[in-house]
Amino acid sequence: MNLETIERLKMSSENSNIREKSPSESHAEVIVRMFPTDANPAGNVFGGEILKHIDMVAGIVAQRHSQSNAVTVSMDSVNFLKPIFVGNVLKLNARINYVHNSSMEIEVKAEAENIVTGIRTITGNAFVTFVALDKNGKPMHVPRLALKTDEDRTKFDEGKIRMEKRLKNRQK
Ligand SMILES: CC(C)(COP(=O)(O)OP(=O)(O)OC[C@H]1O[C@@H](n2cnc3c(N)ncnc32)[C@H](O)[C@@H]1OP(=O)(O)O)[C@@H](O)C(=O)NCCC(=O)NCCS
């Protein structure tokens, strides 16, 4: 990060009411029914449709945590482990794992439910990085994470390692 960016973040943080927030304060869950327009002719839901919902639920978490506008800068480790079919209910569970200055790593887990049989299947997961923006569209500090549980601490440490790798591999 260059000096200009550091100064910008300092200024933004002076204007924002920084406090600590726990991951459970921003946790979000969405449930969506899958329709024929969401799928190919064989009834398999499009990966892009699932990604759209992943991005949206991760955005809710990022905005809840930062209480600001937040934009997606990266999506990685996206895995579609099992198919989701038309008529299934897609359930997405999202939590914040790690924050740096303006960036936040959100983990999303996807589950499909056949609402006739009640069978639920873990179908995928992803990590989405959001950046909080101030009123001028510039990156701004977000609240630090209050790590209250062992899971919070483990996820934070793992998130930090992933973020370092992510930044090392990114192409500007
Ligand atoms: C978000 C954006 C303003 C950041 O601009 P930038 O010039 O990269 O800003 P900086 O270099 O100061 O980085 C800001 C933060 O983003 C992080 N970041 C930038 N690119 C990243 C990437 N590919 N993966 C993870 N983090 C990234 C930086 O590490 C930094 O985090 P920190 O403040 O916690 O240290 C710019 O990349 C952008 O506008 N991207 C488009 C976003 C968008 O339109 N998304 C889709 C629609 S929501």
Instruction: Report how far residue 63's alpha carbon sits from residue 143's, in angstroms, rounded to the nearest whole number.
Output: 11
pLDDT at 162: 97
SS3 helix, strand, coil % of the chain, rounded to 5?
Answer: 35, 35, 30
The full DSSP string for 151-171 is: HHHHHHHHHHHHHHHHHHH--
Which residue type is seen at 51? L
| Cα-to-centroid distance, 134 and ligand 1 (Å) | 13
Range of the domain at 62: 3-169
Q: Within 10 A of 47 (CB to CB), how many other CB atoms are there?
A: 12
Q: Cβ(129) to ligand 1 under 6 A?
A: yes
pLDDT in tens, 41-61: 999 999 999 999 999 999 999
In total, how many domains does the chain have? 1
Give 171's pLDDT tier (boundaries 50, 70, 90). confident
Instruction: Report how far residue 20's alpha carbon sits from residue 6's, in angstroms, rounded to the nearest whole number.
Output: 20
What percentage of the chain has pLDDT greater than the value 70?
A: 90
pLDDT at 51: 96
Q: Cβ(73) to ligand 1 under 6 A?
A: yes
Q: Do residues 108 and 94 make contact, with C-beta atoms less than 8 angstroms apart?
A: yes
Mutate-to-test residue for ligand 1 from 13, 101, 103, highest number of ligand atoms within 8 A of CB: 103
Is a pLDDT exceeding 90 seen at residue 2?
A: no
Give 14's pLDDT tier (boundaries 50, 70, 90). very low
pTM to 2 decimal places: 0.89
Is a pLDDT exceeding 60 seen at residue 31?
A: yes
Q: Which of 55, 53, 51 is nearest to 72 (CA)?
A: 55
Which CATH number is 136's domain given?
Answer: 3.10.129.10
pLDDT in tens, 69-94: 999 999 998 989 999 999 999 999 99
DSSP letter, residue 119: -
pLDDT at 77: 87
pLDDT at 19: 83
Per DSSP, the three-state class of 97 is: strand
